[in-house]
Chain A
């Protein structure tokens, strides 16, 4: 099938092939071991088949990360959380708000609040994943 797979020559395809080669579960970075995408299936494997614990953890991560009332079969992008915070920090460093306008006091306070929010989101999601690693 691989020669008919349209993704086989892409970085996406190579990433998936590397994960398979190293025997890591989908959602785990094959090079660093970090969890980059959370699915119920991944959590089911990591909790050794504890369906209730996997579901509870999935919904806790969804709430902590602001993903919303997500269906159990969908994937939560964990990688993107830190990028959202970095984008805002970069804007502040350049003295701009999210509309590309120069920052005034009002805009700066708003940006700081957003950065704090993203910080909290990142920490809460990381906390849930740390609890998982600790078992």
Chain B
């Protein structure tokens, strides 16, 4: 009887960078982010997309359902569970922290207002309405760099705000954590994010 093959495949190991894009478009029901062939967001479908630049150590995507286990007196182990919250985040430490117009202004949902004129760019602080945006991390595949794996939060904001490090001896970074929120009225299984790979 032939055995079952082991699923070792080093071409499926993640060993490449990703590009983080703020304010990409939201896909329709059952669809995915539109990309150009060079794996940047398609510019007509994503007219407001903005690449946030370099990171210190790349990105991390996390999606987790918090649960509350249910118990019965007669049983020692939990008998059921209910999902109380779905958390989805994309985190990194951005290092282009002197780019106010291109990076910092997109980290201040709910409190930062950007403006510019001939001689300055600035962000002022004060409470303003929260403006959500979709965030996508596009990472070329190790096995085929003409294709990508995409992590896409449909409605998000940066939980970490502005946390610039200003120092001489090492790079100053700004930790970011884009947290996904649900878009109601979408299909229940597709309200917060998708992760997909081009094949």
Interface residues of B in 94-122 (CB under 8 A from A): 99, 101-102
If the complex has contacts A77-B27, A114-B30, are A68 and B184 also in contact, measured as CB distance less than 8 A? yes
Inside 8 A of A89's CB, which chain B residues have their CB?
none
Whether the Cβ atoms of B53 and A6 lie closer than 8 Å is yes
Inside 8 A of A10's CB, which chain B residues have their CB?
36, 38, 40
Interface residues of B in 38-79 (CB under 8 A from A): 38, 40-51, 53
Cα distance A3–B105 when bound, in Å? 19
The CB with the most chain A CB atoms within 10 A, among B31, B131, B191, is that of: B31
Q: How many residues of B contact A (CB 8 A)?
A: 43
A71 at the interface (CB under 8 A from B): yes
**Least Cβ distance of B84 to chain A in Å?**
22
If the complex has contacts A26-B47, A63-B185, are A36 and B42 also in contact, measured as CB distance less than 8 A? yes
**Least Cβ distance of B118 to chain A in Å?**
12
Q: Whose C-beta in chain B lies nearest to the C-beta of A5?
A: B102
Whether the Cβ atoms of B45 and A36 lie closer than 8 Å is yes
Cα distance A79–B46 when bound, in Å? 10
**Least Cβ distance of A129 to chain B in Å?**
13
A81 at the interface (CB under 8 A from B): yes
Whether the Cβ atoms of B34 and A80 lie closer than 8 Å is yes
**Least Cβ distance of A86 to chain B in Å?**
10
Count: A-B pairs, CB below 8 Å: 155
Inside 8 A of B6's CB, which chain A residues have their CB?
none
Inside 8 A of B186's CB, which chain A residues have their CB?
66-69
Whether the Cβ atoms of B31 and A83 lie closer than 8 Å is yes
Q: How many residues of A contact B (CB 8 A)?
A: 47
**Least Cβ distance of A38 to chain B in Å?**
9
Which of B9-17, B18-26, B172-180 forms contacts with chain A? B18-26
Interface string of A78-115 (1 = CB under 8 A from B): 11110110000000000000000000000000000010
Cα distance A134–B50 when bound, in Å? 32
A49 at the interface (CB under 8 A from B): no
**Least Cβ distance of B53 to chain A in Å?**
6
Whether the Cβ atoms of A7 and B25 lie closer than 8 Å is no
If the complex has contacts A37-B45, A37-B46, are A6 and B28 also in contact, measured as CB distance less than 8 A? no
Known: A75-B46, A77-B46. 16 other contacts (CB 8 A): A11-B36, A11-B40, A12-B49, A16-B43, A16-B47, A26-B47, A37-B47, A70-B155, A71-B132, A71-B155, A74-B155, A76-B25, A76-B26, A83-B31, A117-B30, A125-B28
5 interchain residue pairs of minimum CB distance: A66-B29, A15-B43, A26-B47, A36-B44, A68-B186
